Amino acid sequence: MQGQQEVESGNAGFSDSLREIQGEYTMLGELYEKQRSYAQGLSEAIKAMLSEVDTVIQIKPEAMPSPCRAAYLVSEGVVVVFDLNGGMVSKPLYVLPADLIVSIIQECTPELHRLLSEKRREESNKAKSMERVLKELQKAQFTFRATKRDEMELIAQSKPETEDANPAPRVVEKAPLLEEKALQAESNPAPALKVEKEPVEEAPKSKNPFAFIGTFGKSGAQQPSPPNKQKNQPQRQ
């Protein structure tokens, strides 16, 4: 009975050990994944800074894990190593072991800081030079505008005197054809036409106030005037 309990307790301890190993292995895998991610981030950061200075940084051979003649960190985050026999090996920074990545970055940081500082001073001097030139051009532009304004004011002030002394010739624009004819008619009026009135023949006056003056029938045929009734009537006794 006692031996059976010892076996069961041994099996339980073995199962616990397996679970612990499994947990450690899982955590180790997660740590490896973090290291790869951090190595990729460090490589990208170094690559960006190297692209600004555009130069090669020398690495001390003592910082490398194996003996070498020279080592360099070049653009694109690549480590180039020359061994003692003259051979060359190049590898991206992020594929190297984590401790080697940290060692290389610590070795290159002071030189990288110096190069970036020099680059910043150069760009600062360029910006100051451009700012100074821009200010000078703005001053010149302001002076030119002020001079031009003063000249226009002088011309405006002297313009009335010049017009009185030397009057400019009057420029008459050509009018359209109808307007030109109207102007010519106004400047050269036509002589007035005299209308002669024809004399009107007066009809002969008749002693008989009841005599008919005119024509009957055809035009131009003269009709005899009616006889005087008073003359032809017999006188009553």
Residue-by-residue DSSP string for the chain: -HHHHHHHHHHHHHHHHHHHHHHHHHHHHHHHHHHHHHHHHHHHHHHHHHHHHT--EEE-GGGSSS--SEEEEEGGGEEEEE-TTS-EEEEEGGGS-HHHHHHHHHHHHHHHHHHHHHHHHHHHHHHHHHHHHHHHHHHHHHHHHHHHHHHHHHHHHHHHHHHHHSPPPPP-PPPPHHHHHHHHHHHSPPPPPP-PPPPPPPPPP-S-TT---S--SSTTPPPPPPP-HHHHSPPP-
Strand partners, 70: 82
Phi (first) and psi of residue 189, to 5 degrees: -70, 145
Q: Quick one: pLDDT at residue 234?
A: 45
CA atoms within 13 A on the CB side of 98: 9
pTM, to two decimals:
0.50
Q: Quick one: pLDDT at residue 117?
A: 93
Amino acid at 164: D
Strand partners, 53: none
Could you tell me if residue 179 is inside a domain? no
Could you tell me if residue 45 is inside a domain? yes
Could you tell me if residue 53 is inside a domain? yes
Q: What is the mean pLDDT of each run of 10 residues along the chain (237 residues)?
A: 55 78 90 91 90 88 88 90 90 91 91 92 93 90 80 73 52 53 62 51 51 48 48 45
Instruction: Provide the domain limits for residue 31.
Output: 2-111
Q: Quick one: pLDDT at residue 190?
A: 53
Amino acid at 148: K
Give the number of other CB atoms < 10 A from CB of residue 73.
23
Give the number of other CB atoms < 10 A from CB of residue 88.
10
Q: Report whether 155 contacts 148 (CB < 8 A).
A: no
Q: Quick one: pLDDT at residue 149?
A: 78
Give the number of other CB atoms < 10 A from CB of residue 59.
21
Could you tell me if residue 14 is inside a domain? yes
Could you tell me if residue 75 is inside a domain? yes
Could you tell me if residue 25 is inside a domain? yes
Q: How many domains does the chain have?
A: 1
Could you tell me if residue 170 is inside a domain? no
Strand partners, 74: 78
Could you tell me if residue 100 is inside a domain? yes
**Rounded Cα–Cα distance for residues 93 and 80 (Å):** 10
Of the candidates 95, 64, 94, the residue with the CA atom closest to the CA atom of residue 81: 64
**Rounded Cα–Cα distance for residues 109 and 46 (Å):** 9
